[in-house]
Amino acid sequence: MKTDGTFMLPSASSTIAGEVDSLFYFIFYTAAILFVLVIGVMVYFVIRYKKKDNDDNLTSSVDHNNILEIAWTLIPAILVMVVFFWGFKIYMKMNVIPSQAMEIKVTAQKWFWSFDYPEGINVTNELTVPVNTPVKLLMSSQDVLHSFFVPSFRTKMDVLPNRYSMLWFEATETGEFDLFCTEYCGLSHSEMIGKVIVVTQEEYDLWVEKESVIDESIPLDVLGKDLFKKKACYTCHSLDGTRLVGPTLKEIFGSEVRHTDGTTAIVDENYIRESLLEPHAKIVEGYSPVMPTFQGQLKDREIDGLSAFIKSLK
Ligand SMILES: [Cu+2]
């Protein structure tokens, strides 16, 4: 069961979330109390010691008060030390990855997440993991800086090109949790949204089994339609004729396209296959070469499925 968040924070659904929240509340309430104290005393003094019209005498000059000065130096120093050591303890916990953690490879690219499981499964934007199991994410980016953020797990880490960053978490309850890209990464950054789906170990095993086999009984165009959504093609291609980052796929099958190098081509199965595996081989006139390659992410039957789906949009 997914617990609700509080007024200030989303649900706390990982092993470290509770600790992060305690520290957050400690800092928050300490700051709130100090704020009220300091402002309160200030307002009181302003009123209490207001210069009276008939009061010509100057106030006697008080130069210092040892007890007061020691108090207002020591108390904040102690508070800062508490916050430092408390924070450091949680920071270490967040960064030391348990050795038995299961490992998933995360690839960020404009503008979706793809997840590679040890079993050879590849999925887009939906990270399915078992509950009460430490999960290690090995992350890298295909293009620009992205950042992996799951608010309910209180976990966030930058994802960089040409370098791996790592993160781990252990979900403490089942349910669906928001996954955001929290580093501005271009035009459709706001659509780089995913989900972390936390299930029981039994459900996870079933999921792995189901994802590992390709279901040959699904008609190709249905499979394609499903992939269009699953592989996040929709972030760049519309189906209704609207121009997004990429050209619409409506009625392109059988039509003639112009490329930036002046050549033309008729859209057929081979053309679509090439568009998916080597998107930069030919660039459609008026567009930029930003389509990612799906080499290694799509099986042959899935490419057939996408072709059949695009064909059905005629
Ligand atoms: Cu991003």
- Measured between alpha carbons, how far is 284 from 67 in angstroms, rounded to an integer? 76
- Ligand 1 centre to CA of 78 (Å) is 40
- pLDDT, residue 29, reads 94
Kindly report the CATH number assigned to the domain that includes residue 157: 2.60.40.420
pLDDT for residue 2 is more than 60: no
- Measured between alpha carbons, how far is 267 from 271 in angstroms, rounded to an integer? 5
Contacts made by residues 227-230, CB under 8 angstroms, sequence distance 24+: 227/298, 227/302, 227/305, 227/306, 227/309, 228/306, 228/309, 230/123, 230/124, 230/125, 230/126
- Ligand 1 centre to CA of 192 (Å) is 6
Residues 111 and 199 in one domain: yes
Domain-located, residue 172: yes
- Ligand 1 centre to CA of 142 (Å) is 11
DSSP-assigned letters across all residues of 157-188: EEE-BTS-EEEEEEB-S-EEEEEEE-S--STT
Residues 242 and 296 in one domain: yes
SS3 32: helix
- Ligand 1 centre to CA of 182 (Å) is 7
Domain span at residue 295?
220-311
- pLDDT, residue 89, reads 95
- Final residue in a domain of this structure, among 193, 212, 231: 212
Domain-located, residue 39: no
Picking from 305, 216, 185, the residue whose alpha carbon sits closest to that of residue 294 is 305
- Ligand 1 centre to CA of 114 (Å) is 12
- Final residue in a domain of this structure, among 177, 212, 247: 212
- Ligand 1 centre to CA of 153 (Å) is 19
- pLDDT, residue 58, reads 66
Residues 271 and 207 in one domain: no
Residues 159 and 187 in one domain: yes
Q: How confident is the model at residue 55 (pLDDT cuts 50, 70, 90)?
A: low
- Ligand 1 centre to CA of 185 (Å) is 5
Q: How confident is the model at residue 61 (pLDDT cuts 50, 70, 90)?
A: confident
- Ligand 1 centre to CA of 104 (Å) is 18
Picking from 10, 8, 14, 9, the residue whose alpha carbon sits closest to that of residue 174 is 14
- Ligand 1 centre to CA of 183 (Å) is 6
Least confident residue range of 94-98, 215-219, 237-241: 215-219
- Ligand 1 centre to CA of 90 (Å) is 26
Name the token pair of 22: 């305690």
pLDDT for residue 112 is more than 70: yes
Domain count, the chain: 2
- Measured between alpha carbons, how far is 255 from 272 in angstroms, rounded to an integer? 12
Residues 130 and 172 in one domain: yes
- pLDDT, residue 57, reads 67
pLDDT for residue 56 is more than 80: no
- Measured between alpha carbons, how far is 308 from 45 in angstroms, rounded to an integer? 78
Domain-located, residue 110: yes
More confidently predicted of 285 and 211: 285
The label of the residue with tokens 């033309």 reads: 264
What are the start-end ranges of the E strands in 67-111?
102-109
- Final residue in a domain of this structure, among 212, 246, 264: 212
Report the Cα 122 to chain-centroid distance in Å. Answer: 18
- Ligand 1 centre to CA of 124 (Å) is 14
Q: How confident is the model at residue 138 (pLDDT cuts 50, 70, 90)?
A: very high
Name the token pair of 109: 């690219």
Residues 175 and 228 in one domain: no
Q: Name the pairing type of β-strands 102-109 and 112-116.
A: antiparallel
Domain-located, residue 14: no
- Ligand 1 centre to CA of 193 (Å) is 9
Secondary element (H or E) of residue 96: none
For the chain, state the CA radius of gyration: 28
- Ligand 1 centre to CA of 161 (Å) is 12
- Ligand 1 centre to CA of 191 (Å) is 9
- Ligand 1 centre to CA of 117 (Å) is 21
Secondary element (H or E) of residue 52: none
Domain-located, residue 143: yes
What's the whole-model pTM score? 0.71
- Ligand 1 centre to CA of 197 (Å) is 20
Domain-located, residue 297: yes
- Ligand 1 centre to CA of 232 (Å) is 13
Contacts made by residues 99-103, CB under 8 angstroms, sequence distance 24+: 100/134, 101/133, 101/134, 101/135, 101/136, 101/168, 102/129, 102/130, 102/133, 102/134, 102/135, 102/136, 103/135, 103/136, 103/137, 103/138
Task: Report the chain's terminal Cα–Cα distance, integer Å.
Answer: 44
The single-letter code of the amino acid at 105 is: K
Mean pLDDT of 93-117: 92
Kindly report the CATH number assigned to the domain that includes residue 297: 1.10.760.10
- Ligand 1 centre to CA of 145 (Å) is 7
Residues 302 and 247 in one domain: yes
- Ligand 1 centre to CA of 53 (Å) is 63
- Ligand 1 centre to CA of 269 (Å) is 31
Residues 132 and 181 in one domain: yes
The label of the residue with tokens 């100090």 reads: 34
- Positive or negative CA dihedral for 274, 276, 279, 282? positive
- Ligand 1 centre to CA of 237 (Å) is 18
Residues 158 and 240 in one domain: no
Residues 110 and 198 in one domain: yes
Q: How confident is the model at residue 164 (pLDDT cuts 50, 70, 90)?
A: very high
Domain-located, residue 60: no
Residues 233 and 303 in one domain: yes
Contact predicate 129/95, CB 8 Å: no
Domain-located, residue 307: yes
Residues 293 and 233 in one domain: yes
- Ligand 1 centre to CA of 247 (Å) is 21
- Ligand 1 centre to CA of 57 (Å) is 66
- Ligand 1 centre to CA of 175 (Å) is 24
